[in-house]
A and B are shown apart, each in its own frame.
Chain A
């Protein structure tokens, strides 16, 4: 009961803080820029990775939404989650409001768990908002239809099609999966937020780590070997892409071994970072 009470107020603070809405505004900007970019580069008439398909068959609302989600997952959403979660403790320490919370009965553990949960709920709201917004804009610009899927790491499988009646479930699972995967970024941001009184350090530290990992992961295998890439967190954060394979009845189906390995990696790292953040927060002196 106390946890729910604290969580309610943490969500209320996010809801009333203007900076919490930067993520939603960025989603709108991101969709608009992507739409503009599609038109500008005449994406409609091009081939993708040498795979020939008539543009009129794939460029529609669901395709646009899926494209936006996949790009935003590595470009926009980490930024949003790092700023929201990174501000949770360090921001309150900087503003002095952490003192007001900690001189009251709820324990530090309870407060930390409520802040972590509020960050994850907010993150999921942003992911769902982005997806719904992209669907809306995509439908208005290109109309509806089946979802044609092209996933970079499955490029050898080419394109596949998800029926119009099936893609809402695929998107729902993708939104949940992407949110769960980004919980790792939230956990790192919370850990850094517990370590410092300056939210900028938590934001920059989290994003710096995420982008370094992403860049190293994207280097050719000749430069950065696969064994090393397996140690990078971002290598395992795409586990939610398995939902697209699950939706392809004619394909090879879900790669269960990869799914288990990636979920285990991400889940373990997320739990380790959350627990480490809690450990730090319970012991730190609040001097700000």
Chain B
């Protein structure tokens, strides 16, 4: 059962000098979601997020954050956000950056500062100027700043960009923990499919400015489960699969991909083998396959 809607965009559009960069994008993020906003570079993800946060004015459509437009600045106190690269003041220490950003969000006690610094493993470097931080440290400090006001929604735009493998692993663990341990709704924009597949329960795919798909990640993958089949004679095998209501595609000579979600219900590998045997078809190879999100993503983007 879906939770209350935390963020919704309705037919959001952005045009720059006649060029449409976001085209009627509608997404819905529900409370408790770790929502992946997935698309190739230049697809319009950041522009959409900027419109969500009131940084960019939509050419058409509207945004609702907790049922209010982002122009109602009070709702922004319930949101923590990092848009693109971490934006911090290099001449200030990590702690002063946090103090300032916390103050602008309504204030936070010193203990809360230490708590978030501890969480992103920066407490020991908190008094160093940010200009000497590594990119990963800046990214972690930006996450700490986003978490300071105890937000109900955290928006992270490409949070693993520029991080080393350890940093990427830590960031993903942090995102999971935000949702699991703190009950924070997370909107995670990424062009990394594996990131969304590993971390998110729901997602939207955006390509060339338009939303291509939105829903449960598991559903997206399960809806595209298939069987890899080599059999003789191939035409007879194809006819058997089609009789079962499955979609059949010859991907290379002698190799069929049979979709498991057929018109008459699920086509299990066992049922397929039984039907093939009954029809006198010899099966050389049959493998149940779940496509990766990458394959699904590529097919959706290519179709766009």
Contacts and interface: CB of A to CB of B under 8 A. Distances in A.
B50 A12 contact: no
Nearest to B49: A103
A268 B103 CA distance: 34
B87 A105 contact: no
Interface SS of A by simple majority? helix
Given A5-B104, A105-B105, A285-B55, A13 B87 contact: no
A102 B55 contact: yes
Interface in B14-63: 47, 50, 53-57
A101 B91 contact: no
A17 B100 contact: no
B55 A9 contact: no
B122 interface: no
Interface size class of A (residues with CB under 8 A): 20 to 34
Contact of B87 (A6, A95, A285): A95
A104 B105 contact: yes
B123 to A, nearest CB: 21
Nearest to A16: B91
Given A285-B57, A287-B50, A103 B89 contact: no
Nearest to A107: B73
Nearest to B92: A16
Interface string A160-184: 0000000000000000000000000
Contacts of B76: 103-105
Contact of B85 (A13, A96, A105, A283): A96
Given A18-B91, A286-B50, A287-B50, A103 B55 contact: yes
Interface in B77-98: 77, 79, 81, 83-85, 87-92, 96
A105 B106 contact: yes
Interface residues of B, number: 31
B55 A286 contact: yes
A96 B55 CA distance: 12
Given A103-B55, A285-B57, A96 B87 contact: yes
B145 interface: yes
Contact of A286 (B56, B77, B90): B56
Given A18-B91, A103-B76, A103-B83, A285 B104 contact: no
B91 A9 contact: no
Contact of A97 (B57, B81, B88): B88
Contacts of B73: 105-107
A93 to B, nearest CB: 10
B14 to A, nearest CB: 8
A153 to B, nearest CB: 42
A99 B106 contact: no
B87 A5 contact: no
Contact of B55 (A6, A97, A99): A99
Interface in B129-143: 142
B87 A97 contact: yes
Contacts of A101: 104
Contact of A100 (B79, B96, B145): B145
Contacts of B57: 283, 285
A105 B105 CA distance: 6
Contacts of A5: 103-104
Contacts of B92: 13, 16
Given A95-B87, A100-B88, A287 B56 contact: yes
B104 A96 contact: no
A112 to B, nearest CB: 14
Interface in A2-48: 5-6, 9, 12-13, 16-18
Contact of B84 (A6, A9, A96): A96
Contacts of B234: none
A16 B88 CA distance: 13
Given A100-B88, A105-B105, A105-B106, A285 B100 contact: no
B74 interface: yes
A96 B88 CA distance: 8
Contacts of A97: 87-89
Contacts of A13: 89, 91-92, 100
Given A95-B89, A104-B104, 8 more contacts: A5-B104, A12-B96, A16-B89, A104-B77, A105-B76, A106-B73, A285-B56, A287-B50
- Please list the 8 inter-chain residue pairs (A to B) with the smallest Cβ-Cβ separation, ordered nearest first: A96-B87, A286-B55, A100-B87, A285-B56, A104-B104, A105-B73, A103-B81, A97-B87
Interface of B: 47, 50, 53-57, 73-74, 76-77, 79, 81, 83-85, 87-92, 96, 100-101, 103-106, 142, 145
20 contacts: A5-B103, A9-B103, A13-B91, A13-B100, A16-B92, A16-B96, A17-B91, A95-B87, A97-B87, A97-B89, A99-B87, A100-B142, A100-B145, A102-B53, A102-B55, A103-B79, A104-B104, A105-B77, A106-B104, A107-B73
Interface of A: 5-6, 9, 12-13, 16-18, 95-107, 283, 285-287
